[in-house]
Structure 1
Amino acid sequence: MSLLSVQNLEVVYNDVVLVLKGLSLNVKKGSITTLLGANGAGKSTTLKAISGLLEGEDGKATSGTILYENEPVNIQSPEKMVRQGIFQVMEGRRIFEDLTVEENLRCGGYTQPAKNFSTNLEKVYTYFPRLKERRVQLAGYMSGGEQQMLAIGRAVMACPKLLLLDEPSLGLAPLLVEEIFDIVKKINKKEGVTVLLVEQNARMALSLADYGYIMENGRIVMDGKGADLLHNPDVQEFYLGLSHGGEKRSYRDVKHYRRRKRWLG
């Protein structure tokens, strides 16, 4: 059963720049779905179109449909989307640096009844013990990994049905990335939160995801089960840096037209 369905979506910035060109994808309830692609492919724009954040960046959906729980949500405000259960953790974390950890978490739970605050807070601290240790610390003085934990914890405070994660591994050491992805998996399994994940770390994302989509120039060019994409020769060559023989290969060695021809042909 699809929780989210995006159908033939087109998005334009500043009434001129066409970023999404008929994009379609489905996210099953209770699943982890990943969206992969090079910089500029339109991954973050896709998330912002779903969460209602396009308007703040002079972007708008000019055609297509976004269905959430079988209801169209194309022109909802970000606040209304959060109340309906969609929460986006944006690239770059975007925490409130001058507030403490606990004050940041309180902001995340503003759409929830006040009586649920303590329960939700303890839930976040169970997933992220480090945040409990630093609950009275100003968020701006935390490490990048701790800030990413805080950004995800703030999302958990909103009790989302659909969690949109934009580049959670950005700028983090490999061990921290592994820890954060492990927690995302636990949140998905234990809380039943559906996850749509945008990532540059293709290997980690596909290892985690039930299903994956690969974008190029505003369109989906390939999709399939996460495990199938992880072992697909084209994905290995262009996103994992491996040739068909298994040896490392530079992305620059491959002509763009060859990739387009094979994937779209």
Structure 2
Amino acid sequence: MAAALEVKDLEVVYQGVIQALTSLSLTVQEGAIVTLLGANGAGKTTTLKAISGFLPLENGRVTRGSITIGGQDLLRLAPHQIVRRGIFQVREGRHVFSEMTVEENLVAATFAQRKPRSRKEAFDEVYNYFPILSQRRGQAAGYLSGGEQQMLAIGRALVADPEMILLDEPSLGLAPLIVKEIFEIIARINREKGVSMLLVEQNAVIALKYASYGYVIESGRTVLEGTTEKLSADQDIQKFYLGVDTHEAA
């Protein structure tokens, strides 16, 4: 299976002095869901921002390493050019346009489309995955529930017809049943459309359930990687991320 995304020896510095990533490497294979685990401040969100080109917006920059998609270098590209290459980030906190309707939010995403297709076709696809959004299409996004806003954020990514979606904490602040529903749809999108996904998720249990491969990072560097089955069986992962007392389990 070919690599959709390759990050090699990535180093990121904020404000010229604060080192956020040090020699971080990861690979996302085509059509795979890969998860990135780590404690708060480990560098997970910084990794996504480096890939999507958002670092300069926060006075950050890549000082070493490479990021390639399909063998093409992304480091010299602006965020809108990276979207055109097929990578779309669903940011932490959803960031929908609260005063615009659901459908207006989807219209905004059409400007990121890589290939021309009708709005009806694009929106019908979103409503197929998220029927509740069809019912809310004329409602201001700011009045949606947290789960519905997360669905809308993912729906905007679908309108752009991406090859890869970067998901940053999609379960944040949501009830368990809504989280399960959203992840089932994420898995369905991955399965039916073949969209590769890089997932940053505080809920390690659900991340390891839906991803096939994972990386653990500490202090800005990759310290462990493997299939999610292997990571789920690792005692350190069980203790620090899954809340399992390995002594009791033994």
Same fold (TM over 0.5): yes
Which has the larger displacement, 63-72 or 226-235? 226-235
Aligned to 2:54: 53
The within-5 A match list for 1:25-174 is 25-112=26-113, 115-174=117-176
* 2:191 corresponds to which of 189, 192, 212: 189
CA distance in 1, matches of 2:5, 2:117: 29
Instruction: Tell me the residue number matched to 1:216.
Output: 218
SS at match of 1:30: coil
CA displacement at 1:71 relative to structure 2: 1.2
Whole-Å Cα distance in 2 between the matches of residues 158 and 246 of structure 1? 48
**Helix, strand or coil at the partner of 2:54:** coil
Q: Quote the residue 2:232 is aligned against.
A: 230
Could you tell which deviates more after superposition, 107-116 or 223-232? 107-116
Counting aligned pairs with the same residue, the percent is 53
- CA offsets per residue over residues 130-170 of structure 1, 9 Å max, x none? 10000000000111111000000011100000100000000
Residue number in structure 1 paired with 2:201? 199
2:180 is aligned with 1:178: yes
The one-letter amino acid of 1:165's match is: L
Between 34-43 and 108-117, the greater mean CA deviation after superposition: 108-117
Deviation, structure 1 residue 239:
0.6
Q: Distance in 2 between matches of 1:111 and 1:153?
A: 13
| Corresponding letter in the other structure for 1:80 | Q
Deviations 1:66-119 (A, max 9, x none): 111011111211100111100000000000000000000111121335642211
CA distance in 2, matches of 1:160, 1:213: 23
Secondary structure of 2:162's aligned partner = coil
Question: Could you tell me the TM-score, scaled by structure 1's length?
Answer: 0.91
Q: Which runs of 5+ in 2 are unaligned?
A: none
Which letter maps to 2:106? Answer: L
The Cα offsets for residues 217-240 of structure 1, whole Å up to 9 and x where unpaired, read as 101111100121112111001111
> Amino acid of the residue matched to residue 176 of structure 1?
I
Q: For 2:174 and 2:203, locate their aligned partners in 1 and report how far apart those are by CA, in whole Å.
A: 11
Taking the aligned partners of 2:248 and 2:70, their CA distance within structure 1 comes to 42
Looking at structure 2, the residues matched to 139 and 169 of structure 1 have their Cα atoms a distance apart, in angstroms, of 18
TM-score under structure 2 length normalisation = 0.97
The CA distance in 2 between the partners of 1:189 and 1:115, in whole Å, is 22
**Separation (CA, whole Å) in 1 of partners of 2:248 and 2:155:** 38
2:235 is aligned with what amino acid? P
Counterpart amino acid of residue 2 in structure 1: A
Q: What is the rounded CA distance, in whole Å, between the counterparts of 2:3 and 2:236 in structure 1?
A: 27
Gaps of 5+ in 1: 248-265
Alignment: residue pair count: 247
SS of equivalent residue, structure 2 residue 16: coil
